[in-house]
A and B are shown apart, each in its own frame.
Chain A
């Protein structure tokens, strides 16, 4: 890591935590963070500080009706249907386990009836299992040279799971977003965050069978995602 760059990045960490860097600067910081544990620790301190600043907002009490409305809303049958609560919910569980097991869990979630042991062996042996699933490796661009991700698509092409590793950790106002590309059209496949080691997972939501798309890419976007790519491309692959 060039010393001068490192010194410049450290100076930008407070602003990165606040989310007030201009996009090109934010991308440079994100890239550096991927390979610099000292800066990641420094960033965590500033992120904690940013959270505490809310304490200095002029205090205003929320209207009393808000609480009852909220509690009614989360318990309404309509809400329960929209967001099924599964004990040991997929994301929470996945974020606590290492990548290989995450892939296994995702495949199980995706409903692929293959024995654990068989999967284990296949995943450890080759990037292209012989069960009819397709495995696509996305490589990091110049923005995230160490980044990598594996997209697994079920045999029928309808289910997919993305597991990313060594991507730059982001401030809370940004996420990664997967794009499904066909005829130059980019459709969102979902957003995901990564942990301090740059590891993250996503169950891909796709309007059409994943096997119909010709390419996949991942960009850096505001948290929650964008209607179309706006940030730098961090991972890509063309079929």
Chain B
């Protein structure tokens, strides 16, 4: 791997240009510059997720800091063949946010469907490194797909994804039958999967 060779012979690395797999390799090697580049790439995504889940900036900050510290400590355990780096980072952040909610004992009193809406007009305007452009396009794809779901499906998906509620908890908090909740989640996920698969094909 070229990046590994560059390190061995002491060339200064441009970490922001590395792909995720190479970047995490350098984090595992204990290079703070690599962690810094990883932070620039993902902190906004992870902070937005944590903030949406716990509802306050202070807790969201603690969560994101802890996530990057554990990435620093455990980067060597990341397996690129099993999950994308973003999937790994999101799952760590989500778990910690949901855990913070559980420890707090009370959930924020929201029955919201507050997913971010897509803004297709912004899509072709973005310039910058390939990573940034791709990340932006991905954001628009996912937002558009979520926005295309019926509102009742967006709502159950939001409670499950952001707040870590189980089927039974969602059914109780919405006053809906358990079977209805299960069906809505299943439909929402399979529709999203279909939409995002198709879109990816047309984008490429």
Contacts and interface: CB of A to CB of B under 8 A. Distances in A.
A89 B115 contact: no
A18 B73 contact: no
A63 B164 contact: no
Contact of A55 (B35, B61, B138): B138
Nearest to B62: A66
B77 A92 contact: yes
Interface in A121-173: 172-173
Nearest to B96: A224
A48 B170 CA distance: 23
Nearest to B144: A56
A58 interface: yes
Interface residues of B, number: 73
B58 to A, nearest CB: 10
Interface string A60-92: 111100110111011100010001010111011
Contacts of A21: 166-167
B36 A67 contact: yes
B193 A45 contact: yes
Interface string A199-227: 00000000000000000000000111000
Contacts of B173: none
B83 A60 contact: no
A118 B118 CA distance: 62
A57 B77 contact: no
A54 interface: yes
Question: Most A CB atoms within 10 A — which of B28, B95, B98?
Answer: B95
Interface in B42-76: 43-49, 51-52, 57, 60-61, 64-65, 68-69, 72-74, 76
B30 A85 contact: yes
B142 interface: yes
Interface in B174-198: 182, 185-186, 188-190, 192-193, 196
A92 B116 CA distance: 36
B69 A74 contact: yes
A46 B87 CA distance: 11
A189 interface: no
16 contacts: A15-B182, A21-B167, A22-B167, A50-B161, A51-B84, A52-B138, A52-B196, A53-B157, A55-B143, A56-B115, A59-B48, A60-B51, A61-B44, A67-B40, A79-B69, A172-B83
Interface of A: 11, 14-15, 17-22, 25, 44-63, 66-67, 69-71, 73-75, 79, 83, 85, 87-89, 91-93, 95, 172-173, 195-196, 222-224
Given A51-B84, A71-B35, A172-B91, 7 more contacts: A11-B186, A18-B161, A25-B167, A46-B193, A48-B84, A74-B32, A92-B76
